[in-house]
Amino acid sequence: MKKLMLMTALAVFGLFNANAQEFTFGAKAGVNFANFGGDDADDLDGRTAFHVGGVANFGISELFSVQPELLYSAQGVEQTFEGVTGKVQVDYLNLPVLAKFMVADGLSIEAGPQVGFLLSAKAKGGEETRDITDELKGTDFSGVIGLGYQMESGLNFGARYNLGFSNIAEINEVDLKNNVIQVSVGFMF
């Protein structure tokens, strides 16, 4: 499955590169405000973490472009029970492919699908840390919607919401989905 997704991503990059009016690439980093949604996500507090990665932008017209990204994203939740704070830390390699619509000079609305590949998952409580990678699915699917602003210098800012579509829990009776607010700063070359 991972090879199929990688091949699809490379094909998307190649297809849009052949027809693009303008191609730019860059890097971005920022803060994640992550939490779990779903039927079994009650009483969980969000985890504040980070994301970092690369961005490509294929201009189709002056008002529309396609922006695939490859991001390392630290996500998860926290919960305090009887005075002890426990954390679930899940790390993903996310591949969003976003349609960007320019609505004003430098300002864009972006939306599209995202696939995430689980890199690691740990549960921490008190002094104990446990690997829970086998308790979560290896692939996560979500939808992304956000706003971006890019200055003429290439410096850009963004805010987006990633809404989890797929259940990430491997256990059949448990329903958990990743939900993440991301605020980032980047630079396009």
Residues 45-66: b if buried by 16+ CB within 10 A, e if exposed: ebbebebebebbbbbeeeeebb
Between 69-73, 93-97, 122-126, 130-134, the lowest mean confidence (pLDDT) is in 122-126
Residue pair 158/184 in contact by the 8 Å Cβ criterion:
yes
Coil, strand or helix at 173: coil
Question: What's the predicted TM-score (pTM) here?
Answer: 0.86
Structural domains present in the chain? 2-188 (2.40.160.20)
Question: pLDDT per residue over 17-56, tens digit each?
Answer: 444 479 999 999 999 999 999 998 887 899 999 999 999 9
Question: pLDDT per residue over 117-157, tens digit each?
Answer: 999 999 998 889 999 999 999 999 999 999 999 999 999 99
Q: Cα separations (Å) of 65 from 16, 69, 106, 138?
A: 10, 13, 13, 30
**Using alpha carbons only, what angle is made at residue 62 by residues 60 and 67, rounded to the nearest 5 degrees?**
45
Band (pLDDT 50/70/90 cuts) for residue 185 is very high
Which two structure tokens, joined as six digits, stand for 114? 């995202």
